[in-house]
Amino acid sequence: MRINLAMLAPIVMLSLSGCLAKTVVDVATAPVRVASKTVDWATTSQSESDEKRGREVRRREEQLGKLQRSYEKHRRQCESGDAAACNVARSEYEQLGNLTPTVPYEPRRR
């Protein structure tokens, strides 16, 4: 008659001291713990993904605000007759056109 390891394990556990039994259990469960930790590191949770997206949106909003202020300044200088400011304002206006669609629009609340 063959003895199955699953049937032998409880007998061995009872015969071993507490520390040694815990070590046996730790060794047996180590591959599972390592695999689950690897999966945790490899995947991104929904909240982490949301936080990352929020940071990116705020960065683009800040960039858009700076560009808008600079464009307004150069536009005013252009209206005053500064040809170099007109070129800069045109360039910034083009950048604004490219950046604006990447920033989400939220309607104003009344």
Residue pLDDT, tens place only, 10-64: 666 666 566 666 676 677 777 777 777 777 777 777 888 888 888 988 998 999 9
Handedness of CA 19, 22, 24, 27 (dihedral sign): negative
User: Model confidence over 66-105: pLDDT tens digits?
Assistant: 999 999 999 999 999 989 999 999 999 999 998 888 877 6
Range of the domain at 66: 52-102
pTM: 0.53
Domain contains 7: no
**For residue 72, is it within any domain?**
yes
Q: How many residues does the chain have?
A: 110
Q: How far is CA 99 from CA 37, 62, 66, 103, in A?
A: 39, 11, 12, 7
The verdict on residue 65 lying in a domain is yes
- Output the pLDDT for position 93: 92
Q: How many domains does the chain have?
A: 1
